[in-house]
Amino acid sequence: MEAFLKNAVVGTDRLASPLPATETELDTLTVQLPTEQKERSLLLAAGAYAIYSQAGFAPPKAPKIMPQAAPETLRVCSATIAHRFEEMLDTSANTLLPEALHCLQAAQLRLPHALLLQSISYASKHQELQSAFLAVLGERGDWLSQFNPEWSWIHRPKQEDPTRAELEALWEEGNLEQRENVLSYLRIKDPDTARDWLQSVWKQEKAEVRERFLDTLVVNISNADQVLLEQALKDRSQRIREKATQLFAYLPETPQMQRIMACADSIFVYKQNELTITLPTVLDSIDEFVPALSEKSSLEQWSQYMLMLVPPPHWEEHLALTPGQFIEQLATYELRQELIESLMFSALTHQSINWYEPLLRWSIEHILLKTRQGSFDHYQNLLAALPEEQAEALLLPLVEHPNHWTQAVQLLPGPWSKKYSQHFIKTLQKYYAQESNTSYTAWTDNLPIVASAIHPSCFELAQGPWEHPEKDAWYIQHRKQQVQNMLALIEMRTQFLKEIK
């Protein structure tokens, strides 16, 4: 085609050269074309050459042949299970995926190869499910991931522990992420070496690098880290100084924390059955350890910071109050919500499990049931650490409130016990029958989670009856549809669990 292209692009008006030869059998035909009809001859010759080239197309040599996948070691799940699983990859049913993945792994089954692309694409966008997916992708999934960098989360080479020399080389020559990984790895295996290595480079690293490295100290932190933390407390960067203070909170026996606790004791005083909160009388250069505080700080700042830093058991011991009593005393203050949240933070930091239940009980009653608070991180973490029965019992006041049941769903997304599931469904059916309960988005957002959370023994109960008000309003129809969608999800779960047994 190149032969004719020049004439065709420039135009016969400007390029009056004769029809070029193609050095093919076609030339015997093209020479017969009328020379006086330049345009027509060019078109016919080009058309003939196009068909000639099409007929004589020579295939290129194949690029390097790809390696072949290793044989599978797991059995493939049945076609029915695969079909159900495929349905769950759809956004409307993806709340069912964690349970399905768990069941597949427990049954030592893998997904069929035809479903791998959809599954890998889904998991690549849902990081929280990646480890569960890894177990069901089989050898083929592992093999496939080597060809696409976006799927590198699948292919984790099984390697032995790195040697000291390898770690040193990475620490000396690696990029920031690799060096951070070395420190994290060493904090688990050999915390002293990790600290020594960090100490040796502390002065020469940039502030943002120091900050990231400092974060690794939280694992296996001990009094041996005190010197490095003291150095960090004197850092030019306020963020690093604040981080160091937070890390000191894990070391209540250090002099720094002892001084903080002494200061805290001068703020929170319990006398004659009453807790008083005043500005500190014992300052003892405390602002050196808590950069956010100074002599000019307000009472609110002092009290919140102290509650965040001091381990909760200290209050039990020092004030001779139970967790519940201390919380009740704090609750008499106008700033109670902020104070209790600071205490929650500290309870989580120090894993003071006996504080979880009273903190949650008070917060659910006085914060969640009275406000529309959106952030649940602390609550979820506290609830997750409690036994199932205790966590569910704490949430009952939310379940039993028609405007707050959705918070219970968000805080404890399942799986639920049989008793709690029964109670939840019956309560929902009651709300469903109330015309006034018209929080449409709440039903749309939360019913799929309910469908995935309820105990399998309650599937039948969930079928109804769902009696709605005898009114043909659009919102009644809408809610009816929402329940239908939930029942469809429960049916999907039923079928999946039945098939995988």
Partner 1 sequence: MPGSALYQVRVDLTSFSTQCSCPSRKLPCKHSLGLLFLAAGSPGEFIEGEPPEWVNTWLKKRAATQKRQETLASKDEQSTTSNKKASQSKDKRQAKVQRGIEQLDLWLNDLMRNGLGSVESLPTTFWEQQAAQMVDAQASGLAARIRALEDIPNASKTWTAKLLAQLGKLALLTEAYQQLERANPDLQEEIRQLIGWTVKEPEVIERGTHITDDWLFLGQRQESLHQRGRSQRTWLWGTRTRRSSYILQFAFAGASYTEHYPLGFHQEAEIACWPGAFAQRALFIHRQSSVQPMQTTLPGVDSINAFLADVASQLTQQPWQERFLCILNQASPIYDEEKRSWYLGDQQGNALPLTPTDHWKMLAISGGYPVDFAGEWDGETLFPFGIMVDQHYHVL
Residue (87 or 235) nearer to partner 1, CB: 87
**Sole residue written with tokens 């893998």:** 110
Q: Does the protein bind partner 1 through residue 322 (CB under 8 A)?
A: no
d(CA 146, CA 237): 42
Q: Does the protein bind partner 1 through residue 116 (CB under 8 A)?
A: yes
Give me 311's structure tokens.
Answer: 């381990």
Residue (85 or 305) nearer to partner 1, CB: 85
Q: Does the protein bind partner 1 through residue 131 (CB under 8 A)?
A: no
The residue from 113, 259, 336, 361 that contacts partner 1 (CB under 8 A) is 113
Q: Does the protein bind partner 1 through residue 490 (CB under 8 A)?
A: yes
The residue from 35, 68, 73, 285 that contacts partner 1 (CB under 8 A) is 68
Residue (34 or 387) nearer to partner 1, CB: 34
Find, among 7, 81, 88, the residue nearest to 42 by Cα.
7
Q: Does the protein bind partner 1 through residue 491 (CB under 8 A)?
A: yes
The residue from 26, 29, 43, 299 that contacts partner 1 (CB under 8 A) is 43
Contacts of 16 (CB under 8 A, 6+ apart): 38
Find the part of the chain contacting partner 1 (CB under 8 A) among 3-11, 203-211, 241-249, 392-400.
3-11
Report in angstroms how near the CB of residue 433 gets to partner 1 at its nearest. Answer: 15
Beta bridge partners of 110: 76
Q: Does the protein bind partner 1 through residue 488 (CB under 8 A)?
A: yes
Tell whether the torsion through CA atoms of 247, 251, 255 and 259 is positive or negative.
positive
Q: Does the protein bind partner 1 through residue 31 (CB under 8 A)?
A: no
Q: Does the protein bind partner 1 through residue 34 (CB under 8 A)?
A: no
Q: Does the protein bind partner 1 through residue 484 (CB under 8 A)?
A: yes
Preceding omega of 415 cis (within 30 degrees of 0)? yes
The residue from 35, 61, 204, 375 that contacts partner 1 (CB under 8 A) is 61
# of chain residues touching partner 1 (CB under 8 A): 61
**SS3 track for 245-282:** HHHHCCCCCCHHHHHHHHHHHHHEEEECCEEEECCCCC
Q: Does the protein bind partner 1 through residue 38 (CB under 8 A)?
A: yes
The residue from 35, 54, 204, 436 that contacts partner 1 (CB under 8 A) is 54
Residue (119 or 304) nearer to partner 1, CB: 119
Report in angstroms how near the CB of residue 118 gets to partner 1 at its nearest. Answer: 8
- Answer yes or no: are the C-beta atoms of 263 and 283 closer than 8 Å: yes
Give me 280's structure tokens.
Answer: 């500190």
Q: Does the protein bind partner 1 through residue 47 (CB under 8 A)?
A: yes
Contacts of 423 (CB under 8 A, 6+ apart): 396, 399
Find, among 362, 355, 269, the residue nearest to 312 by Cα.
355
Residue (19 or 228) nearer to partner 1, CB: 19
Give me 343's structure tokens.
Answer: 């205490």
The residue from 281, 294, 351, 463 that contacts partner 1 (CB under 8 A) is 463
Q: What are phi and psi of 321, to 5 degrees?
A: -120, 145
Residue (293 or 454) nearer to partner 1, CB: 454
Residue (60 or 374) nearer to partner 1, CB: 60
Which is it for strands 109-110 and 75-76: parallel, antiparallel or unpaired? Answer: parallel
The residue from 32, 55, 177, 236 that contacts partner 1 (CB under 8 A) is 55
The residue from 26, 29, 44, 262 that contacts partner 1 (CB under 8 A) is 44
- Answer yes or no: are the C-beta atoms of 369 and 361 closer than 8 Å: no
Contacts of 403 (CB under 8 A, 6+ apart): 439
Report in angstroms how near the CB of residue 47 gets to partner 1 at its nearest. Answer: 3
Q: Does the protein bind partner 1 through residue 266 (CB under 8 A)?
A: no
Find the part of the chain contacting partner 1 (CB under 8 A) among 143-151, 169-177, 218-226, 296-304.
143-151
Count of CA atoms in the C-beta half-sphere (13 A) of 384: 11
Neighbours of 420 (CB within 10 A): 25
d(CA 248, CA 244): 6
Residue (73 or 371) nearer to partner 1, CB: 73
**Maximum C-alpha span of the chain:** 119
The residue from 92, 148, 434, 438 that contacts partner 1 (CB under 8 A) is 148
d(CA 498, CA 494): 6
Residues that bind partner 1 (CB under 8 A): 1-2, 4-5, 7-14, 38-40, 42-51, 53-69, 79, 113-114, 116-117, 140, 143-144, 147-148, 463-464, 466, 483-484, 487-488, 490-491
